[in-house]
Amino acid sequence: QVQLVESGGGLVQPGGSLRLSCAASGSIFRIYTMGWYRQAPGRQRELVATRTSGGSTSYADSVKGRFTISRDNAKNTVSLQMNNLEPQDTAVYYCYCNAVGDPVAVPYNYWGQGTQVTVSS
């Protein structure tokens, strides 16, 4: 199986920055997509940013221009640089990957445990 561990969450004032990191480990044959989702209280979990192994990226409209996703394919890590944070960014952020791992022989969605990001003055 594949395990995802996030780090970097915390409390920050509006306008501040945080950098989230996620490392995938386990029996991994290939990771196709890595990224981040978030879920705020009372809201559906939403895509924040993803990046494929080929370098294609996708961002939620609400974070474009403020967040940047990066990925190290060799290290199976993904990071999310969050700048100019707003109170609306407050949520639990979940690392995500779509990967082929042992014993699963087909692509499967894996999720991290989540890390809290709170933006407040």
pLDDT tens digits, one per residue of 46-97: 999 999 999 999 999 999 999 999 999 899 999 999 999 999 999 999 999 9
How far is the C-alpha of 72 from the C-alpha of 93, rounded, in Å?
19
Average pLDDT, the chain: 95
Pairing of strands 28-39, 67-72: unpaired
Average pLDDT value for residue range 12-26? 97
Better pLDDT: 105 or 85: 85
- pLDDT at position 89: 98
pLDDT at 77: 95
Mean pLDDT, residues 31-56: 96
Query: Measured at the alpha carbon of residue 79, what is the angle toward residues 42 and 82, in degrees to the nearest 5?
Result: 60
Burial of 17 (0-12, 13-18, 19+ CB in 10 A): exposed
Residue 19 is predicted with a pLDDT of 98
So what's the pLDDT on residue 103? 77
